[in-house]
Amino acid sequence: MSDSADTTDASEAADPAAAPDAYEALLDRARRWNAVSSASGVLSWDQQVMMPEGGTPARSKQLSVLSSLQHDLLTAPETGELLAELADADLTAEQSAAVREIRRQYERADAVPRDLVERISEASTEALGAWEQAKAADDFEAFAPHLERNVELKREYAAHIDPDRDPYAVLFEEYEPCLPLERAEAVLEELRETLVPLLDAIRASDTDLAGDTFEGSFATETQEELAREALDRLGYDFDRGRLDVSSHPFTSGNQFDCRITTRFDESDPLSALGSTIHEFGHALYTLGLPDEQYGTPLGEPRDLSVHESQSRLWENHVGRSRAFWDHFLPTFQDRFPSTADASVGDAYEAVNQVHPDNLIRVEADELTYHLHILVRFEIERDLIRGDLDVADVPETWNDLYERYLGVRPETDAEGCLQDIHWSHGNFGYFPTYSLGSAMAAQLYAAAEADVAAMDGPSLDERIAAGEFDALHDWLAENVHRHGSRYETNELVKRATGEDFSAAAFTDYVESKYGELYDVSV
């Protein structure tokens, strides 16, 4: 653990007085609306995994009612009265943090009319079914009215919260409330300035990485067995979770029930394994939240940037590491004997090949992934700001892919219809993926340094031996156990000793890919 993470607030060093009655009453209310939200999450998971195709009309009504019920509980006069009573109360640091988070939720929700909440929920549920059908049929026009409706509703939502601010900045705060949009844009710009010349150098390189050994046909059933084996090795708690298949991989749940989904491609077993490890990172964070704080801000994840840092840390810094493949390649080869001739070096190169011509974000390599994010970020920002019409999304998408990645999608199914996020109305979500990647590099570097300071093997040596406890423990101590107690930058600074920045990520990719492709920038 970093020195900065070992500090204790003075208000907690002493034995604090019993919490004010108003504080306990406020937490009780928070537990109630979070229980409703959790129930909505289960229904949403079911819709994407188990629900029969014809169930959408009923499900949209069910989720709409639950969303309005949660909104009513959150915005009830009693909530505002309790917050007012606690404004000047003598609280511990943890109590103050919980009140801060509830106040933020309350003030945003209280600004939004209940009927708008219902309309957003119903529209997004209907849009999800329409998106799935449109993607399967490669028919953007079938999805366009639903996207238009989601954009209109979210503009209205942002205007209720703050009519005088950039609506996209307001929506971005739904997913990252602690970092301003300007800071996110600065990080994205720093990534672009690093990645574009690095990718240019890689394109010009004569280096060919291994990968042929992992080409062929790989049965879905065997890939699922392999995914389950990987989750077992990494430490996923199947007593509190499960693995299923969905059209778009995701993780859903709480510290008692956190479920993973993935998808399989019989021609690409490395993609499914990578997405499974990615979702494991999300689940490990959620399952690592304190049980006793369930339903309160102290038992909730910080935000999506931090959440994405956990998934990207496991996917990239573990799953794409030489150490991991030193451990896991024999298991992979047991499942797929056709790869018996592959060496650890071959596997390491195969999972780290750079493919600028890839069109699919969730299958993107570690470098070009962020250009996929930039395309989505620029489009959704312009949609919400009113600078782009929904009808122009496919052409704009294709133009940006050609500009940033040098490739143009031939279909909307592999272009602007590939992601689920806009069907949910999740505008402002995409930047958190790149923010999370930058954060993951900073956290992992700190974990490496702290483990190196202990007696015993390095973190790489532990991973190569299939021992993940040291990394689990470091993340639990420095990230998971805190819930939403600390705001984003403070959480990162306590864990690493430094303010959040992209520096660790840019150093990491320049070193790793410079060595792989024998290039320098």
CA dist., res. 426 & res. 433, Å (int): 13
Helix axes 114-137, 56-75, angle to 10 degrees: 150
| Complete edge-to-edge strand list for the sheet that includes strand 257-262 | 243-245, 257-262, 251-254
CA angle 307, 308, 310 (to 5 degrees): 70
CB 255, CB 220: distance < 8 Å: no
- Among 118, 173, 279, 510, which one carries the catalytic annotation? 279
379 exposure class (CB count in 10 Å sphere: 0-12, 13-18, 19+):
buried
CA dist., res. 321 & res. 401, Å (int): 28
CA dist., res. 233 & res. 236, Å (int): 8
- DSSP β-bridge partners for residue 260: 243, 251
Of 443, 485, 490, the residue nearest 302 (C-alpha): 485
Tell me if 12 is assigned to a ligand binding site.
no
279 is catalytic: yes
Both tokens of residue 229?
Answer: 């084996």
Tell me which amino acid residue 337 is: P
CA dist., res. 331 & res. 230, Å (int): 9
CA dist., res. 139 & res. 288, Å (int): 41
Q: How many CA atoms lie within 13 A of 379 on its CB side?
A: 28
CA dist., res. 37 & res. 484, Å (int): 17
Binding-site residues, please? 278, 282, 308
Binding-site residues for Zn(2+), please? 278, 282, 308
Catalytic residues: 279
